[in-house]
Amino acid sequence: MITTGQIIRCKAAVAWEAGKPLVMEEVEVAPPQKHEVRIKILFTSLCHTDVYFWEAKGQTPLFPRIFGHEAGGIVESVGEGVTDLAPGDHVLPVFTGECGDCPHCHSEESNMCDLLRINTERGGMIHDGESRFSIDGKPIYHFVGTSTFSEYTVVHSGQVAKINPDAPLDKVCIVSCGLSTGLGATLNVAKPKKGQSVAIFGLGAVGLAAAEGARIAGASRIIGVDLNSKRFDEAKKFGVTEFVNPKDHDKPVQQVIAEMTNGGVDRSVECTGSVQAMIQALECVHDGWGVAVLVGVPSKDDAFKTHPMNLLNERTLKGTFFGNYKPKTDIPGVVEKYMNKELELEKFITHTVPFSEINKAFDYILKGESIRCIITMGA
């Protein structure tokens, strides 16, 4: 391509300071270096993680920065040493990676790559620590190695999943973060059998994806637990059959669920980050075979306690990161689930905005009005 090896000037939505609206700027995007690819982003979406770090809650603020990590695009050019990707490939950049060489990548049980595991503090590329974005020669920092709120971005090749070119990027772009996190927590970690019961704690985007996983697995009862009763009607589209609002009961919600299910659900998936919900998720599963899976990220100093008998009575507590999916190996298969009509993505997409109106996506998510808002680049 004519741009190969050249600096590309394009539009990016830059966060200059915490909590302030993103500003459309012309940025310079440098060519990819060793083990990097430059991608033309066609569609991106907004995730709560972007909002959390844009608000600069709980970590060292790093600005100016280009956020964004759920996206779909086409490879424009590749750097030295990249052999598995080529210009023209349809891809999803992912916030975590798969180097292929570390013990985690060699393990069938782990997706927590030593080299490319998510790092929210890093503002440059792994190869040299430098940013590939600049304005008037001054660097603009990267976010989780993806920075998809730019018409072009540079990503480590280990964080890029090559997908079916027939897959619509305006739909499958949401697969690269929250959807896979919830879906995989159920299908890969909780692993409900057909006909079993599943409780989902938290009915945001990740929780609804976990419910979608339970639906795909053939669960007979999917019990949604949320403090917001308005979420139940939406949750029915994702297979949720019953709803429990802890505020409606004068007894612990784990006791309510146990009474509803003759001793407890077979599986539970916690998607809130609340330690109280984590305890409830463990204690609501049936003794003897119940499995509880933790997905939500707690606050830094959080801890929870439960009686050891809850585990000695043959309940299992598990944790998961990104649904136990390896980005390069497994994410193309999630896209195929959509292409084969096993997985429904359209119902997750509640809004669409042009790139020039990206701040509307922040408004929708802050007001709790959207599950996923697709941002159309070049519009």
pLDDT tens, residue by residue, 83-112:
999 999 999 999 999 999 999 999 999 999
| Best CA proximity match to 261, nearest among 230, 297, 222, 228 | 222
Confirm whether 231 is a catalytic residue: no
pLDDT band at residue 58 under the 50/70/90 scheme: low
Residue 307 pLDDT greater than 90, yes or no = yes
pLDDT in the model for residue 1: 64
Written out in words, the top-level CATH class of the domain with range 179-321 is: alpha beta
CA distance 161 to 145: 14
CATH 3.90.180.10 at 8-174+345-376, yes or no: yes
Active-site entry in 96, 104, 146, 177:
177
pLDDT in the model for residue 301: 87
User: Which residue in the block uniquely carries the two structure tokens 């990206």?
Assistant: 358
Q: What is the residue extent of each domain of the chain? A: 8-174+345-376, 179-321
Confirm whether 70 is a catalytic residue: yes
Distance of alpha carbon 46 from the chain centroid: 10
Confirm whether 105 is a catalytic residue: yes
Confirm whether 49 is a catalytic residue: yes
Confirm whether 373 is a catalytic residue: no
Maximum C-alpha span of the chain: 67
Active-site entry in 65, 104, 221, 372:
372
pLDDT in the model for residue 258: 98
Active-site entry in 65, 96, 104, 105:
105
Active-site entry in 10, 35, 44, 47:
47
Active-site entry in 35, 44, 65, 113:
113
Confirm whether 271 is a catalytic residue: no
pTM, full prediction? 0.96
pLDDT in the model for residue 300: 81
8-174+345-376 against 179-321: fold identical = no
At 135-158, the pLDDT tens digits run 999 999 999 999 999 999 999 999
CA distance 155 to 138: 19
Active-site entry in 117, 306, 316, 344:
117
Instruction: Write out the E strands in 233-355.
Output: 242-244, 267-270, 291-294, 316-319, 349-354
136: left (phi over 0), alpha (psi -120 to 50) or beta: left
At 310-358, the pLDDT tens digits run 999 999 999 999 999 999 999 999 999 999 999 999 999 999 999 999 9
